[in-house]
């Protein structure tokens, strides 16, 4: 009887999930494993590690990632909202911890080590704070007297100094950009949109004049001037796409992974272009496009502002992350270390993606229209 009950529950739960989104997500995860097997052995040997060091770690994190993603999909949105409040404060404590006990890598303290694995708490903050700001904005949407927007601003202001001290400008921009997008779909007045937009532009100028590292990246991209070292990664990335051509050089046959640091994470799209060619690049872009369009079609059915704001915010983050990774590899934007969801190597990125996609599944399942 118990086995029948569990079986019926699993069957009912699986039937409630959007199968197009599930198949697309699992396809992206499978491609990520394939890319890891083809690309990371050379990186590991270059670092003096066993050839399959990164492959093993990538494969180990996959079951945990799937578990987290599918577990979150079981929850109703009211439960995800409550869990996000706890997660928000835990992330603040962990990010604060990186400033004192975090490992400094390339001038930034963003990582904590636990049981031999390093993780980046600010990555986990992205989907969590998106749920919180969606909740606060939707509450003001329902009750104009409730200061939801003001409280959402405070929730973001609490993390801004921590992210600047690490520093992690990229995640800061993603969080603020997502919040602005949520305000936009909530029906904010044109005047307030202009005000927030001007504040955002002013903040970017402030970052430019106060953070030399941030300013240098912008200057190098615009002027195309600087030392050879400045352009080494981008130069090799473009060469990788040229060498790969239409069908690629074949799995394991590329050279960019041995020349560019972090090629298996931030520049993984270049490895794909070199070893698997234009065809695989298009397949990956199509898979993410299907996921994005399908999610938009589902969330646009919602009259519930909380569900709509959460879904749009999470989708905005995923889309932005994909665009930044691909455009950086193609030298279309200034260099920014951003992973490709479920494909790049990195436990923090995988876990953050699991949370994000789990929320997407929760919000698009058949019974998600119920009142939260």
Q: Which of 274, 279, 268, 267 is nearest to 240 (CA)?
A: 274
58 vs 348: CA distance, rounded Å: 11
40 vs 284: CA distance, rounded Å: 19
- Per-residue pLDDT tens, the chain, 372 aa: give them: 555 666 666 677 777 888 899 999 999 999 999 888 887 887 888 778 888 888 888 888 899 999 999 899 989 888 999 999 999 999 999 999 888 887 777 667 788 877 666 788 889 999 999 999 999 999 988 888 889 889 999 999 999 999 988 888 888 888 998 998 898 888 777 777 788 788 888 888 887 887 777 777 777 777 766 555 557 778 888 888 888 888 888 887 777 777 777 777 778 888 899 889 999 999 999 999 999 999 999 888 877 889 999 999 999 999 999 999 899 888 888 877 788 899 988 878 899 999 999 999 999 886 644 443
What residues have CB less than 8 Å from 321, skipping those under 6 apart?
174, 338, 339, 340, 341
Exposed e or buried b per residue across 38-49, where buried means at least 16 C-beta atoms within 10 angstroms of its C-beta: bbbbbbbeeeee
Q: What share of the chain is helix, strand, coil (3-state, %, to 5)?
A: 75, 5, 25
Domain boundaries, the chain: 34-364
69 vs 350: CA distance, rounded Å: 10
Report the pLDDT value the prediction gives residue 283, as an integer from 0 to 100. 95
Length of the chain: 372
Report the pLDDT value the prediction gives residue 229, as an integer from 0 to 100. 52
197 vs 183: CA distance, rounded Å: 11
Cis peptide before 167 (omega within 30 of 0): yes
Q: State pTM to two decimals.
A: 0.89
132 vs 138: CA distance, rounded Å: 10
């Amino acid at each position: 009887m118990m086995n029948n009950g569990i079986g019926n529950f699993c069957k009912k739960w699986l039937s409630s999930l959007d199968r197009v989104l599930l198949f697309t997500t699992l396809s992206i995860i499978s491609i990520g494993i394939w890319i890891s097997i083809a690309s990371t052995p050379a990186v590991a040997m270059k670092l003096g590690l066993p050839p399959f060091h990164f492959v093993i770690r990538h494969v180990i994190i996959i079951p945990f990632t799937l578990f987290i993603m599918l577990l979150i999909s079981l929850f109703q949105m009211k439960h995800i909202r409550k869990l996000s409040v706890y997660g928000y404060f835990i992330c603040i404590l962990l990010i604060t911890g990186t400033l004192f006990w975090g490992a400094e890598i390339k001038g930034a303290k963003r990582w904590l080590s636990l049981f031999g694995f390093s993780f980046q708490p600010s990555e986990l903050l992205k989907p969590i704070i998106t749920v919180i700001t969606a909740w606060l904005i939707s509450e003001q949407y329902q009750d104009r007297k409730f200061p939801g927007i003001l409280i959402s601003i405070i929730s973001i202001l609490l993390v801004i100094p921590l992210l600047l001290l690490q520093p992690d400008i990229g995640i800061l921009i993603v969080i603020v950009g997502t919040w602005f997008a949520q305000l936009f779909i909530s029906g904010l007045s044109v005047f307030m949109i202009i005000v927030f937009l001007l504040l955002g532009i002013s903040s970017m100028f402030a970052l430019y004049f106060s953070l030399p590292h941030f300013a240098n990246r912008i200057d190098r991209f615009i002027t195309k001037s600087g030392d050879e070292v400045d352009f080494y990664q981008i130069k090799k990335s473009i060469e990788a796409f040229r060498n790969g051509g239409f069908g690629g050089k074949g799995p394991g046959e590329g050279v960019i992974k041995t020349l560019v640091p972090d090629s298996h994470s931030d520049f993984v799209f270049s490895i794909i272009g070199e070893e698997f060619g234009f065809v695989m690049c298009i397949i990956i872009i199509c898979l993410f496009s299907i996921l994005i369009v399908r999610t938009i079609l589902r969330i646009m059915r919602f009259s519930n502002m909380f569900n709509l704001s959460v879904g749009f915010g999470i989708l905005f983050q995923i889309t932005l992350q994909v665009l930044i990774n691909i455009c950086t590899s193609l030298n279309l934007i200034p260099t920014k270390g951003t992973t490709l969801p479920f494909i790049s190597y990195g436990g923090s990125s995988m876990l953050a993606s699991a949370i994000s996609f789990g929320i997407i599944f929760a919000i698009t399942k058949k019974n998600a229209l119920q009142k939260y």
